[in-house]
Structure 1
Amino acid sequence: MNTQSLPLPTSFALTLRGYDRDQVDEYLAETRDELRLLALDRDAALAEAETLARRLEAARTENDRLRVRLDRLVGTPADPAAVGDRVRRMLELARTEADAIVTTARRRADAILEQAAAVERRTAARLRAIDDFLAHAEHLLAEEPEPMAPGKHLAAA
């Protein structure tokens, strides 16, 4: 989330002796709520990144398995002279089909890899923006004035 899109007031209304306490309290409450939402968004982005990492690993494993299978099929071709025309034709069709399956699997694996990489990049950018906002908000909250005793207002002090 971009911190520039948040409605952060640049100043608070001045009262007789200081800032309007209700306005400051409301601002701090809104900031805390926004922090909670950002933390939830960050956690969801991390979970999504973990899911995509698992999918990516599964795609890589499947791709490796298919490569081993293809190498085994290509590495041990049947001798066409030892078989009849009908069997030779069946072998050619099987090879063609196997090549098509491997090509499709490679394309699917590449597409999954590209999608996972793009989502991971977007997730990393979102997490950096959230971290920047949280750091800024924590800084603002650290500057929060000490709470006054009940019943006392800045204007009455």
Structure 2
Amino acid sequence: MTLPLPESFALTLRGYDRDQVDERIDELLTEIGLLTADRDAAVAEAETLARRLEEARSANAALRARADRLCRTPADPAAVGDRVRHLLELAHAEADGVVAAARQRGAAIVREAEDTAARKLEDARVHAAREIEHARHRVEYLAATERRTADRLRKIDAFLAEAAELLEADTRLHAAA
């Protein structure tokens, strides 16, 4: 801040008017004193505010720690006032209701899953029974086909044996002739 100075002092025979200069210096010293007092008061207030801010921060940290601690541990209804106790009882009742509803929903989901599993198991059994029956029919068909093929092969073997005998007999007759 710049100090207001008069543009000039009145000139006298030996320089400036001494009374005017002394008066201005007194004004300036008074103003400097007031400014110094204002500055000191502002510094003191700033220090006070800084202390209060630090105290508020400490109190805030303590309150946050307490809130965290209170949130982590369930509140004991016997350790609080009537209104808070009532609110806690309501909260516990609501929590019990939520837990009961969740258990009911869980039980319903389990029942639904068990019913679905039972239906799928029954469907699988029916499908397996059909596949087994189909496989039995296929086995019977293949066994019958194998028997027919074996019977035909025996007939073919017998026919070939008879043809071989006839051929051999014919060869002997031709050799004897």
TM-score bracket for this pair, using the shorter chain length:
0.3 to 0.5
RCO higher in structure (CA 8 A, sep ≥6): 1
- Normalising by the residue count of structure 1, what TM-score does the alignment of the two structures yield? 0.46
TM-score, reference length from structure 2: 0.41
Which structure has the larger Rg? 2
